[in-house]
Structure 1
Amino acid sequence: MNIRRLIPAATLAGSLSLGLVALSACSPSDAADSAGGAAEKKGGKLAVVASFYPMQYLAEEIGGDHVDVSTLTKPGVEPHELELGTRQAAQLGEADYILFLKGIQPAVDEAITAAGVPNTVDAASLTTLEKHGSEVGHDHGDEHGDEHAGEEHAGEEHEGEEGEAGTDPHIWLDPVKYAEVAKGVGTSLEKADPDNAAAYRKNTTALVERLTTLDTAFKEGLADTSTKTFITTHSAFGYLAERYGLTQESISGLSPESEPSPARIKELRSIAAEDKVGTVFFETLVSDKTAKTVAADSGLRTDVLDPIEGITEKSKGADYIEVMKSNLAALEKALGAK
């Protein structure tokens, strides 16, 4: 997030030209048509490229047997810092359908724009994005409100590098917003591959039902807790906090790799005492060093709250739904759910 890592222009141009040469083998109408001709070349399946895991999950669940999904971000790779290689750039140009989330991966955003694939869908356009700083839904009052406001403003400035006008792109961590995106993805797949539209509609409905059940579990599980405040490594959980009436306090703002200031650490110690916070959460794809340092400094425990940017052997679940359930269990324990 904090560093825009772009592949060199010459490499990108060369890579994309390979993909465009592959596309040029079809007539203009073939390239813009429903998956018919293109899908026929790829074993009868729509060739889908997803930018990272949350998009991959949607494409696989909704596309089912009618899509062949590949992802630009391999398991274990921190998506914000992804560097595109020659193969990935060429892969974009050869896709029948691209699903990405603008604002998470600047290098990917630019490469996708350059690829110019007609069926390209930005998940951020399928729901309403909001601005979130280092905390959501809580006012700590005059004691440290001014100091915190400065931290939040700094976070929003940084996020402006990711999202449009400083918006928070972590929409998949809110099951309701993720369901909105799922509906939009389903509709776009129907248009890209009308021959299999009925299957996409059926799969979309099934996925939305599972996400609705997940939303209900979060509402019920977090309705009555001893505290509403949780501390995380970075501000990935703004939408989740807002949805379920919680307060997210991040150690290092919107960048998972940035170091917190001494003032922020002091403030977190005060917040933890005031709001009876007992746990500092870290995530699976970045170092837990900072979280453990802050926890030790304040006499707190540590646990995992996974932003689900990728699934690895360390993930507490095999897919999005399972990991979200693990997140719910971790929040219930940390917040003292009754």
Structure 2
Amino acid sequence: MSAISLQLFMHPRNYVRLLCYVKKYHSFVPNIFYYATTIDPLDVFTQDFQRNKSKIVNVFDVNNLRIRKFMESESNRYDVSMMNEEDLNKILEELQVKSKDKVVKQIVTDCINYSKFINENTVKRLLRHYSNHGKTDMVAVLQKYCAKVDPNFYKRNGEFQHYSAKAQCMRGNSEKGLEILKQSYRTHENLRTFYRIIFKELIQDSVLNRSEASLVIFKKYVLEFSETWEEHYPLICFWYICWSSSWFSDQMLGNELLESSEVLQDIVRDRAVVFSITILRDYNDDAVVRLLQVLLKYNMMAEYTKVLQVLFNFKLKNRDIRGCTEIIKNCEALGVTLPSDQQGRYIKMLITGQQTDSKPTASKNTSSFKLKF
């Protein structure tokens, strides 16, 4: 008994084991009051004990103990001091896939304490993953690791502030995230390509996820980037996504951007035909109609005529007689003349109901617009 008491004292979890399994298997032990009334209680007790012996032994079988919580807490502890770089990379990758964030955080913290190196590609992969999921605490611990264990890698990548900015935005803190991005853009000129990519991804995510509050904040920052550093591409990306959106609020925001920026007006004028051809590949002719209205509003008649020809070709190709007729009426009202070949194809379609194999003329000398930096 003293030995058993000592084991219980040394391992408090044994109390939990004993209570759980005595409660579960108490029915296997014969009732003592039954033996008090039998003729030969010793023989009966012996027989019952032999019959239930295997079940009683299983009560104290370590392999059957349901203490998963205790076992997991022990197995989650990794001895980083004994691991090489390959082992660390493998374990961190497996834990990240399993979403074991607390364990990853503990391992990274131990790497700081033991000055253990993690492969640079693994660090970047973890930063991308956690920033995309808005886990700012995990990004922060990885930044701390790089700052202390691999400071050259840390400085060379701009202290990984672009990942911190993205994590904040993905978490819903757009103002804080974009402010971090702006400060990084100002400080690290050699890394501005990375910051543009992050900015573009954040714009797309904000518009597609319908965050009205974030859209207002993004409008402020794209205009600031354009005015302060003459960095116009975030402004173009933001306007393009709003213009091509099917949501009325996005379209109105795109119109507000045009009114706020003369630079954007000039870019839209120069790239109107390219925008139209690109968006028509997605059969979004409503966006082209809205662009025609914008060109009329700012009295860009030469660009209006070119875009109208692109739209007319699109209607001809899809045998949309009604759409072609509306464009013809519009041309007559505005005094705009379509090329003779387009008019001939339209007349032929009216007569025969067939469309020629001619490709849109406006697309021959025009390259596609792509949202790339």
Q: TM-score range by the shorter chain?
A: under 0.3
Structure 1 length-normalised TM: 0.27
Structure 2 length-normalised TM: 0.25
Point out which structure has higher relative CO (alpha carbons under 8 A, 6+ apart).
1
Per residue, is there more helix in 1 or in 2?
2
Per residue, is there more strand in 1 or in 2?
1
* Structure of higher CA gyration radius: 2
